[in-house]
Amino acid sequence: MNEVTSLLHAMREGDTAAFGRVFAWLYPELLRIARSCVRDDARSLTPTALVHETFVRLVQAQRLELHDRSHFFACAARAMRAIVVDHLRRRSALKRDGESVPIDEAFPIAIDPSVDLLQIDKALGCLDEISSRQREVVEMRFFGGFEFEEIAQYLGCSLRTAKREWDRARAFLHAYMAEETATATR
């Protein structure tokens, strides 16, 4: 862990090769997270492709200052979310009848299996306006597969607070989704 933090500090100080070493060091864990995000089948985004695309996005990010291992994984989870959402948007656009992609097709940990990921992405945008901390908890838990202990450590809060933020975020997302569904059926 100290080596990862040291490499991240070296990266911030201009060592361009440091990020590649961090990525190689943490690759197995990134792959585990990616597997929790996508199903490995021929018509979906593969975990390996997701990890590699995450690397490209993180490398290309302007002014990315990663502080430690937890911060690295939080940024990686956010990047994975964006990549998967983009992938699902492209897939949805290719469907002739405009049928949405059910969330349980891409994610095993679903807030509500009948809701698609694009709706969750939109809801997370609204949640971010209310509480960026709760949005981070959802990204880390839902998209990154983080345990509450890891989330609490990253946020610098107690385990109880991390769980409470998750519960509040889920309540908001359920209410938001219910309102969106009600509006769509009117």
Distance of alpha carbon 27 from alpha carbon 33, whole angstroms? 10
> Nearest to residue 114, comparing CAs of 128, 126, 100?
100
Residue at token pair 């959402």 = 85
Question: What are the residue boundaries of the structural domains of the chain, listed by start?
Answer: 2-185
pTM over cut 0.75: no
The two tokens of residue 91 are 């897939």
Residues 85-132: tens digit of each pLDDT? 888 777 665 554 445 434 434 333 433 444 567 778 888 889 999 999
Evaluate whether 83 touches 53 at the Cβ level (below 8 Å).
yes
**What pLDDT was estimated at residue 26?**
87
Residue at token pair 């345990």 = 147
What is the helix, strand, coil percentage profile of the chain, to 5? 75, 0, 25
Residues 149-165: tens digit of each pLDDT? 989 988 899 999 999 99
The chain-wide mean pLDDT, for the chain, equals 77
Largest distance between two CA atoms of the chain: 56
**What pLDDT was estimated at residue 11?**
79
Evaluate whether 109 touches 142 at the Cβ level (below 8 Å).
yes
Say which residues have a Cβ less than 8 Å from residue 90's Cβ, sequence separation at least 6: none
* Residue 1 confidence (pLDDT) above 70: no
Instruction: Report the pLDDT averaged over residues 32-55.
Output: 74
Distance of alpha carbon 179 from alpha carbon 161, whole angstroms? 27
